[in-house]
Amino acid sequence: MDPQAKRRLGKSGVELPLFGFGGAPLGELFVKVSDANAEVTLQAAWDEGVRYYDTAPWYGRGQSEHRLGRFLYRQPRGEFVLSTKVGRVLKAPPDPAAFDTGFWSGGLHFDHVFDYSYDGIMRAYEDCLQRLGMNRIDLLVIHDLDFQHHAVEPKVQAYLGQLIGGGWRALEELRRGGRIRAIGAGINELGMMPRFLDLFDMDFFLLALRYTLMEHDALEAELPYCQRRDVGIIIGGVFSSGITATGAVPGAKYNYANATPEVLDKVRRIQAVCGRHGVPLQAAALQFPFGHPSVTSVIPGAFRPDQVTANLGHFRHAIPEAFWQELQHERLIRAEAPLPASA
């Protein structure tokens, strides 16, 4: 596949490259990353022709946005597409000496509060501009309004109420005024996409982990609903947080937890099919989502230049249709899953 080829992002009219850069690792997700390493990684992506970059205030509590912004402000603004996220506002902690970075290996020392109100969305948007050093953002994503982060229906409903009561008006004002080009929502679990679609005029979803080589349940309801509404899909977590990049090795991660014996067995079976067809597992993971017509881009992250180069090489790897057909025959992907070769 050609990483620089473009697809339209739903009804937004925005043309996105098939391959983008996910900025979470630059916020030091699990691994410490120096400023120098972040810089050379982004330079490698740019030199390879990557022109879509995604980040968020949550990634390293502002660090990913700062690092992407320092690099991208030196590039011609008309040559790249930039997405970031709203829903959290960063604030100084009450006790800086006792600050806990949580699961971020480093990052900046800021607390956050969830705020999906009109003022919260506008504050978050303006803060993003400052951290990025940009005066406009292309794609703005409602971040983490789901059960994974808010746990119970009353909290989810309360934050949806903020969005209904004013946050969505802020997003529409930004879109209507040309300050953003499209509105999306970052989704980590099934069940929330239909709720968003029933309430709001969404342009796209950034769907993390839920439509990958390993997981296809989104085909049952979510993706058909998006297709009917002409809502685009950007795929995050395309390696299922690690296992389809590393293979079935000891300690492999699947959806941010240690892979179970059942998951390891499935990956070994997929790897066996890969071996018979000369297809790298990583290539299969990166290319599988593009069978679906709603999928616009994948955004694998990286924190070293060689990771960028390897991902692009796997993305360009030619995969025979017989490979996908064998995966279906072996029931390793769903029979109804649309295949990339026939997209």
Instruction: Count other C-beta atoms under 10 Å from residue 306's C-beta.
Output: 10
Q: Max Cα separation, the chain?
A: 59
Residue 146 appears among annotated catalytic residues? no
> Among 56, 142, 147, which Cα is nearest to 107's?
56
Using CA of residue 242, residue 248, residue 250, residue 255, what is the dihedral sign? positive
Q: Which residue has the tokens 């297709």?
A: 227
Rounded Cα distance, 86 and 186, in Å: 10
Residue 59 appears among annotated catalytic residues? yes
Rounded Cα distance, 135 and 141, in Å: 17
Residue 85 appears among annotated catalytic residues? yes
Of 52, 53, 59, 211, the catalytic one is 59
Of 85, 118, 146, 159, the catalytic one is 85
Rounded Cα distance, 320 and 45, in Å: 27
Using CA of residue 206, residue 290, residue 28, residue 188, what is the dihedral sign? positive
Of 2, 35, 53, 54, the catalytic one is 54
The Cα angle at residue 258 between residues 255 and 263, in degrees rounded to 5: 75
Look up residue 66 and give its amino acid: H
- Residue 238: DSSP 8-state: T
294: three-class secondary structure by DSSP:
coil
CB 5 within 8 A of CB 18: yes
CB 85 within 8 A of CB 40: no
Active site residues: 54, 59, 85
